[in-house]
Structure 1
Amino acid sequence: TSTKVNDKTVFELSLSSETVAPFVVLDFKANSGIRAQFLENGFFIFSGKKTIKMQTESKITEKDIKDNLTIKTLTDATVPGSIYSDLRREQVLKQDLFFENNDVNYRWVAYDNWTYERTFNVDANIISKKYVNLLANGIDTVSSVYINDQLIGKTDNQFVRYVFDVKKVLKSGQNTIRLAFQSAPIYAKQQSDDFKKKYNYTVQPECNPDQYHGECHFNFIRKMASSFSWDWGPAFPTEGIWKPIGIEAFDKLVIRDITVETTPDQKNNSFWDLTVHIKMESAPNQEFEGIFDIKLDNNVIIKKDKLKFKTDEQGYAGVAFIILLRDIKITPWYPNGVADNTQKLYDLNVELSFADSKEVSTQTKKIGFRTIKLIQNPIKPEGLTFYFEVNSKPFFAKGSNWIPTNVLMEDITPEYLRHLLLSAKEANMNMMRVWGGGVYESDLFYQLADEYGIMIWQDFMFACALYPANKEFLDSVQKEVITQVRRLQHHPSIAIWAGNNENEQGLVGWWKPRLPQYDADYRTLYVHTIGKILDTEDGTRPYVSSSPSNGLESIKENYTAQNPEDSRYGDIHYYSDGSRLWDWTTFWSPKFASEYGFQSYPSMDSLSEAFSAKELVFPLTPTVQHHQHKWNEDETIVQQIRRNR
C-alpha cells in the first residue's frame, strides 16, 4: 500500500517468513533507478509477518517494487564494526567502497535506519548483584537501545561512553538486546531544521562544497565530521557499535577512570611527586569506606589508605592521593630525540577493596613522569614565542597531522597503527596533531605515542564549522569532553588540548554575514564549556581555544582575533598553493606551523585499486575527477608541475 506525504510517496511493505530470519537487508537492483529510504533495515523476522515502511521521491508503482526489490538475509554482524563493513562482508556491497563512484552509489546505506539485534545468556550470579549495567564504550551514533523489548536508553554522541541501568530488565538465562539506529544524515538535517525553527538563525555552513559529493549538517551531530565527506576523503556516514559493549555487575562501586599529575620536587628535581585522581561510579548518594592500594611498577606499594567517601546525585565519586616518591628513582619521559631520549613508562595500578565485601575494582595505566609547558613570551621587535618545554627543556616540534587512517574504524588494524607511528619515530618526528574533524583516537594509538615519544597536539572534534550552543548540544559536549579527557589524560604523550580546527579562522573570515550570535556561541562552546571543564579535569597541560589561533593574543581579543593566522603569534596553517613550493624563500616564518601541505597525485598502484584501467588516462576522466574534492580540481597540481619541472 502507499500514501503521499509532502513530496514523497510512503509504501508499506509486508514481509513474511516461516522461520526465524535474522538481519534481513532490503535493497533495489542496481539498474532499477529506484532511490528510496527504508525506515527500518537490518531487521529480524522472528515468526509470521513484518511490516516495513519505505519512502521515495521516485515515481514508481507497487509492481516496480515487487520486480526490483532484493531481499538478503545476513547471518552475523561484527562488533565492534559498522553497517558498511557488514554489508561488504556479506557481498551486499559487491565492490570496494572506494572504487570509482561507490561513495555515492552506496549512499543508500547511510539513508536507511539499521537495527542490530542478538540474544545473549546471563548467569544467575550476575542478576543477583546489586547493580547491573550495560556499558557501551562507543555507539555510532543515534540509536535507541532495548533489552527484552524494553527501552533502556538512547544515544546521540559517538564520543561518549554510555552506562545504562539494566538490573530490572535482565533475566537469568536468555535475553535479547536491540539497537535501533537512525540515519545520521537525516538526523543531522532534522536537528538543523528544528534549530532554525526554534532559534531563528542558521548555523554555518549548512552543506559541504558540491565537489565533496557529501552530506550536509555535520555540525548538528556528534559524529566523525569527515564521515560526511571532506576535501581529502569520501562520505560514508556509518551506523554501528564501533567500540566494545558488555554487561558489568557489582555490589559496591567501580573505578571508571584514573588521571594523574607528575611534578618534580622543587628542592631536588631527581625526586617526583605523583598525584592520583580516582573517579568511581555507583548509585547516587551512597556512602562507602574503601581500601585503596596504589602500586607503581613491579607491584611496589606506594600508597595504602582507607577512606570514607560518598557518591553525588549522579552516582559519581572521586578521591585524590598526593604521593611523595622519595625511595624510587624516577626516569623522566622525553619526546623522541630530546634530551636523554627516554620514553620510560611505569605501570600504575589502583585497587579498591572493602572490609565487608570480597569485591575488588582495579585499573592499571601506563604513565610517564614529565612536565609540559607552552612558552609564550614577548620577543622583539614584536610578537610572542610559541614553543614547548618538556621537563624544562625546550624542543623543536617536528611532525605531521593525523587524520583517521580509514573511513571505517574497524578496518584499522593494530599492525597498521604500529607501522605508521613507528615510521614517524624513525623519520625523527616527535609530534603529531590529531585533527579535529576525525575521532579521538584509540587507546592503542596513544599507547604507541607514549612508547615512541611522539607528542600529541589533541584537537577536540570540532572542525571547519560553527556549532550550535543550545543547552541540549552543550550538555552532550560536556559529557563528551569529560569522557575523553578522563580517558586520555594520563598519557604523557599528550602535550596540548585545542578546542577546534580552524573555527576561529572561519568565524572571522569565512561565513557572512557574521552575526553577533556566532561570536557568542563560539565563546560559549570553546571557552565557557570546554575550557571550563579542562580547568577542573586537567590542569597539567595547556589549552588553546582553536587551531590556528594567536594564542594569548587571541585571548586579548576575546578569543576571536582579527587575523587568527598572524605569523607573529600562536600557530598557523600554511597552504600557499600559488607559490613555487620548492622555493623555501616563499615560506612563512611563523612561531609554530601546526598544519601545512600541498596536494599531489597518488601512485599508480593506489589509482589502480580505485579505478578500472579505462579510466586511467589523461586528461582525467569524470570518474577520476569525482575523487578530486579540491575547489579548483587539478589546477594547483598542474601549476606546481609546470613551475617545478
Structure 2
Amino acid sequence: MNSKLILKGNDWKILDFIDEAWRTKQVESDEPTDPRPWVKATVPGSIHQDLWDNGIVPDPYFEQNSLMLEWIPQRSWVYRKTFFVEGGKEGSEARLHLHGIDYRAHIYLNGTLLGSHESMFVPAEYEVASHLRYGADNLLTVVLDPAPPSESQMGRTSKVGHTKTRMNYWWDFTPRMIHLGIWQEVYIAFSGPVTVEDIYIRPQLNMDYTRAEVSVDIELISRKAISAEIDLTIAHNGSQVAILTCSAQKLTEGVTKLEVMMPIDDPELWWPNGEGAQPLYQLTVSVRESGAEEVMYQRETEFGIRQVEFSPNETSHPTALPYTFTLNGRKVYVKGYNWVPIDVLYGVERLEKLEHLLTLAKEANVNLIRVNGVGLIETDAFYNLCNRLGLMVWQEFNLTSSAFNSKPKEDESFINQVIQEAESIIPLKRNHPSLVLWCGGNELESLDKLPLNEEEPVLAALKAIVKRLDPDRLWLPCSPSGPLPFNGINMSRNRPDDLHDVHGPWHHEGLTAQYTLFNAGANLLHSEFGADGLTNLKALEATLKPENRWPVTLHNPVWYHLGSWWVQEKQWRDIFGELSDLETAIEATQYLQAEGVRYAIERNRARKFRNSGVLPWMFNEPYPMAACTSAIDYFGRPKHLYYASAQAYNTVSVTAKFAKQAWANDLDFKAELWVTNGGTQDYTEAELHWSMEGDNGNGFASGMRRINVGANVADSFGDISCQLPKIHGNLFFLTLQLKMPSGIVIASNRYLFTTTENLQPMLDLPRTVLDIQSDCKGPNWSITVTNRGECAALLVRIDDERSLDAEGWGYISHSGFHLLPGESRTVTVVWKGTGTHSVLSVQALNADKRIVE
C-alpha cells in the first residue's frame, strides 16, 4: 500500500548567500563549511517570515519596515532538512514531491543533484529510491536562486519573461515584498510498482438532470509489466453509489491510460451559494495485482456533479461574447468579488484565516470569486473550501497588466514556458466543482490599449490547452474582454454596444457623477471596479505609531507607503469638509466606499440579464494597508463595504434609482423603484412601501403599491416624487420595504441624502444614545440596538471588540446601518473558535461606544 513521509514542519534550516557563493560551501553535504549559524525555518513557509521569527528583520507589516526587507530576494537561500527513513522501505518506489517552490531552485538529496526547477505553480517531482539511506538519516537540500527581475504595477508587461506572481514587486494593495520560499507541501511518496498518476472526472448530465454519466480517465505508471485489477468506487454521504472493476489489465512498463464510464441515477447536483446545496462525491481508485486481495496503490478524489455553460446576454450586441453563467440549466447572476492572496507571505500556512475569509464571502451572499492574474494559481485548500461553501471560482493564469504597456511577450521561449505550466496546472485543478472558468489574464491589452483576444499568441496557446485538457470549463481570453476595456460615462453614452466585460472605475466618482455613471450602465459584465476608504481603527493602531496616524495625508511617508493609490485627500474634503479626527475619517471614507459600491451593485443587478454579473475590487487584502479598496481588512475584520455589498447581494433586494445624493437648490426629489429577485420564488400581491423622513424621524412623504415580482428577474415598479419640505437639519432618508400581504418583510433598504452640496451634515449631526438589549448565551448572540435619541443614529457599527490576535472569529449579520429615532434593529452574532469570552462593541458616527459581553 502506498504511503507518504511528510516533510513539512519547523525543523528546517536556512542560510543566505550572495549569487552562487553557496557552491563553495558544500551546502548539499552532511558537513557544510560555512561557519555562520543556520537559521530555523518552517516549510511550507516564507523566507521573510523565518527571518522575522528569528529576530533578524523587523515586523514587515509595520509602517515602512518592509523597505528594510528588500534585500532578501536579492540573495540565494539554502534550505536544509534532515529526516529519517525506516529500513522497511527498501524495495519500494519512492518519489520526492515539492508542490510549490518560489521561484527557481536546485534540489539535492544526500549530496546528489536531483535537478533544477523553475515555476512556483508546477510541482517538482523526482524518483529518489536509489538515493535514500534506509534506516538512517537523510539530508534534503533546496537552493533558491535570487528572485527573477520583474515589473511592478508601474512597469511594462512586455518585459516580463516568467510567471512568478507580480504582486510581489509592488502593487496598489501591497508594498514591494518579493517572496521566496518553499511555499507548499513537501513529502516522499512510497509505493509499489504501479501508481495512479492522474484522475480526470467528467460528469455529463442528461437533458432533465436525472442521470449523470461520470467519465473517469485514469493515467497509471507501471515500473514493470504486470497484470492488475483496478477497482473504482463512487461514494456519497457514506454510501456507495457506483462500483466498477477493470479486471486483468495488462500494464506494460510505462504509462497506461484507461477511460471508464460510471452512471449515477438521480444525482445530487452541486449549486453555487444561494442557489442550492453543495453535495460532493468521492471517487476511490484501487490497484491490485491480478488474483491478489492486497491493494498496492489507492488514490481518492472528490468531485461534484453540475453543468456550467455561458448563455448569451439579453439584448446584447451580436458580436458580444456570452457572459451569463448558466448552472444546471438555470441562469445565475454573478454576485462576486475579486480575490487576492490572503497574505503577501503566502507560503505561511493560514488555514483558519483562509476558512474565515471564504466563510465571510459565503455569509455576504457571494457566489463567485475571481482569482486575479496578479495573484496566485490558488491552492487546493482554497478550492476545497470553495467546493464546500458554494463559491464558484474564476481562475486566471498569471499574466497581468502594467501602467505603461500590458502586452505579454511573444517570443517562443516564454510562450513555451506558459504552455508547459498550464499543462501541469490544469490537471491539478480540474476536478474541483467550484472551478467554473479559466481566464488568460488580467487587463491584457494591445499597444493601442484595447483588450487582447485569442489572436494574441500566448492567449491562443492557453485557450487550446484549456479546450484540450478541461473542455467542460468556461474560457475567457482576458478580463476585461472588450471591445472597450473600461467603464465610463462617455462610453456608456456614445458606445454602449461596445461595453461588454469592463473594468473600473476604482474611486467614488462624486455625489452626482457616481449616480450618473451607474444609472447609464450598459456593460454586459462588470468584472472589476471599486472605491477606496481607510482601514479599520484597530488595524491602523496595530500598524502605525500614534504620531503617524493623524492627520491622514500623503505628505507623511508612512501614509504614502501604505496608501499612495487610495488616500483621496481633496475628494474627501470636498465631500465631507475638514475631517476632524481619525475615527471620523475612518467612518466617513468607509461610508463613501460602501455607498458607492453598493449603488453600483444595485444598478448592475437591476439590469439582469443584460448585465450578467458584478465583481467589486476587492474582497480581501494581503497586507495591512492604511487605505485600500478591500471589503475586509488584513486582520479579517469587515469594513462598512462588506455589509453594504452583502445587503445588495440579498436574494431579493428593493432599490431606488436616483440622480444624486446631495440635493442642494433642488426641491424636486425623484426616484425610480426597483425589485431584483434572484430566487426561484414568485411574489404575488406583494406590498412595496416607501417613505421619506428627516433626520429627526418625522416622515414627509410615503406611499404603497401592490406588485407582482417574478422569479429570477429584475423589474421597475414606477417612479416616486415629492417636494422636499423645509426639514429638520440637512439630512433626509428614503426607506423602502417589500412585504408579503401577511406583513412579513421580504426586503428593505435605506438611502441617506443631504439638502446641501456635500455630506458635511453627516458629521454635524447631534449626538444620540443607543440602547442595547442582548441575549449572549453560548456562541449565538442576539443584539437589539434601539435609537433612544431625538435624531438619527448614522452608521451603527457593530464590531468584534477583542484584540486582533484573539482566537476565533465573530460573524456579525449587520453593521453600518442608520437608525431613526425610536427604531430598533436586531443583529445576530455567531462566535466560532473564540472560547468562553467574547466581546462586542456598538457605536455610531454620532453615538458613543457601548460594550456587550
* Number of the residue aligned with 2:197: 256
In structure 2, relative to structure 1, the CA distance for the partners of 1:106 and 1:265 (3 Å cut) is same
Matched, 1:365 2:336: no
Q: Is 1:306–2:247 an aligned residue pair?
A: yes
What is the aligned partner in structure 2 of residue 321 from structure 1? 260
Structure 2: distance between partners of 1:39 and 1:521 = 44
Distance 1:411 1:567 in 2: 46
TM-score by structure 1 length?
A: 0.76
Q: Return the offset for 1:510.
A: 8.3
Give the equivalent residue in structure 2 for 1:584.
515
Closer, same or farther: CA 209–455 of 1 in aligned 2, 3 Å = same
More helix by share: 1
Shift in CA distance, 603/275, structure 1 to aligned 2, threshold 3 Å: same
Q: 1:458 to 1:344 in 2, by over 3 A?
A: same
Q: 1:436 aligns with which of 369, 373, 389?
A: 373
Distance 2:576 2:22 in 1: 50
Aligned equivalents of 1:433, 1:520: Cα separation in 2: 19
In the alignment, what sits opposite 1:82? 46
Match of 1:536 in 2: 468
Counterparts of 2:303 and 2:453 in 1: how far apart (Å)? 38
Match of 1:456 among 393, 415, 418: 393
Q: 1:335 to 1:113 in 2, by over 3 A?
A: same
- For the pair 1:630 / 2:565, whether they are aligned, the reply is yes
Relative contact order, higher structure (CA 8 A, sep 6+): 1
Alignment match, 1:347: 282
**Is contact 1:436-1:501 (8 Å) kept?**
yes
1:188 is matched with: 149
Deviation of the 1:319 alpha carbon: 2.0
Contact 2:229 2:245 in 1 (8 A): no
Q: Is contact 2:46–2:348 with CA below 8 Å preserved after alignment?
A: no
The answer for the alignment partner of 2:362 in structure 1 is: 425
Stretch moving more, 294-303 or 113-122:
294-303
Cα pair 1:121 1:174 within 8 Å, conserved: yes
Change over 3 Å in CA distance of 1:467–1:307 after alignment to 2: farther
Post-superposition offset of 1:611: 1.6
Aligned match of 1:294 in 233, 238, 247? 233
- Larger strand percent: 2
Shift of 1:644: 4.9
Instruction: State the alpha-carbon separation in 2 of the partners of residues 601 and 322 from structure 1.
Output: 54
Name the amino acid aligned to 1:612. Answer: K
Q: Which residue is 1:614 aligned to?
A: 547
Task: Kindly state the Cα deviation for residue 155 of structure 1 after the two structures are TM-superposed.
Answer: 1.2
Q: Which moved more, 1:370-379 or 1:419-428?
A: 370-379
Alignment of 1:91-102 (within 5 A): 91-93=55-57, 95-102=58-65
Aligned to 2:409: 468
In the alignment, the residues of structure 2 paired with residue 45 and residue 381 of structure 1 have an alpha-carbon distance, to the nearest angstrom, of 65
Cα distance change of structure 1 residues 296 and 122 upon mapping to structure 2, 3 Å threshold: same
Give the match for residue 571 of structure 1: 501
The residue that corresponds to 2:215 in the other structure is 275
Alpha-carbon shift at residue 265 of structure 1 (Å) = 2.2
Answering whether residue 445 of structure 2 is matched by residue 509 of structure 1, we say no
Question: What's the CA shift for 1:402?
Answer: 0.6
* Equivalent residue in structure 1 for 2:34, among 42, 50, 55: 50
What residue identity is the alignment partner of 1:293? L
Cα distance in structure 1, aligned partners of 2:309 and 2:316: 21
Q: C-alpha distance in 2, partners of 1:601/1:255?
A: 51
Secondary structure of residue in 2 paired with 1:321: strand
Aligned match of 1:225: 166
Conserved in 2, the CA contact under 8 Å of 1:156 and 1:222? no
Determine if contact 1:226/1:437 at 8 Å carries over to the other structure: yes
- Aligned-residue offset at 1:48: 8.6
Confirm or deny: 8 A CA contact 1:219 1:225 kept in the other structure: no
Q: 2:177 aligns with which of 223, 232, 236?
A: 236
CA shift for structure 1 position 253: 2.6
Residue identity opposite 1:277 in structure 2: D
Query: Once superposed, what is the RMSD of the aligned Cα atoms?
Result: 3.4
Partners of 1:406 and 1:412 within 8 A in 2: no
State the alpha-carbon separation in 2 of the partners of residues 372 and 87 from structure 1: 45
Q: Does 2:530 align with 1:593?
A: no
Q: Distance in 2 between matches of 1:479 and 1:157?
A: 10
Q: Which amino acid aligns with 1:416?
A: K
Pairing partner for 2:83 from 105, 111, 120:
120
TM-score (ref. length: structure 2): 0.58
What residue identity is the alignment partner of 1:231?
D
Of 173-182 and 289-298, deviating more is: 289-298
Quick check: 2:308–2:473 contact (8 Å CA) kept in 1?
yes
Report the structure number with the largest CA radius of gyration.
2
Residue identity opposite 1:366 in structure 2: E
The equivalent position to 1:209 in structure 2, one of 137, 147, 154, is: 154
Q: Secondary structure at the match of 2:130?
A: coil
Once the two structures are TM-superposed, the CA of residue 488 in structure 1 deviates from its matched residue by 1.4
C-alpha offsets along residues 361-392 of structure 1, whole Å, 9 cap, x if unaligned? 22222222110001136736766452110011
Answer yes or no: is 1:388 the counterpart of 2:329. no
Per mean C-alpha deviation after superposition, the further-off stretch among 168-177 and 82-91 is 168-177
* Contact residue 24 and residue 44 of structure 1 kept, 8 A: no
Equivalent residue letter for 1:547: S
Take 2:482 and 2:192, find their aligned partners in 1: how far apart are those partners? Answer: 51
User: Is 1:251–1:359's contact at 8 Å kept on the other side of the alignment?
Assistant: no
Deviation at 1:418, TM superposition (A): 1.7
Output one character per residue of 1:527-565: Cα deviation in whole Å (capped at 9) or x when no partner. 1x21111121111121111111049x99xxxxxxxxxx9
Query: What percentage of residue pairs aligned between the two structures are identical?
Result: 23
Which of the residues 129, 132, 138 maps onto 1:167?
A: 129
For residues 454 and 296 of structure 1, what CA distance do their matches in structure 2 show? 23
Whichever residue aligns with residue 526 of structure 2, its letter is A
How far apart, in 2, do the equivalents of 1:295 and 1:103 lie? 49
- Aligned to 1:77, the other structure's residue is in SS state strand
- For 2:42 and 2:407, the matched residues in 1 are separated by 35
CA distance in 2, matches of 1:633, 1:307: 71
The structure-2 alpha-carbon separation of the partners of 1:72 and 1:644, relative to structure 1 and needing over 3 Å to count, comes to farther
**Relative to 1, partners in 2 of residues 1:575 and 1:641: Cα closer, same or farther, differing over 3 Å?**
farther
Q: Give the whole-Å Cα distance in 1 for the aligned partners of 2:51 and 2:334.
A: 42
User: Please, which runs of 5 or more residues in structure 1 have no aligned partner?
Assistant: 1-21, 28-35, 52-70, 190-205, 512-518, 555-564
Query: Does the C-alpha gap of structure 1 residues 174 and 26 become closer, same or farther in structure 2, counting only changes over 3 Å?
Result: closer
Structure 1 residue 619, shift from structure 2 partner: 5.1
Aligned to 1:557: none
C-alpha contact (below 8 Å) 1:291/1:305 kept by paired residues: yes
Q: Secondary structure at the match of 1:547?
A: coil
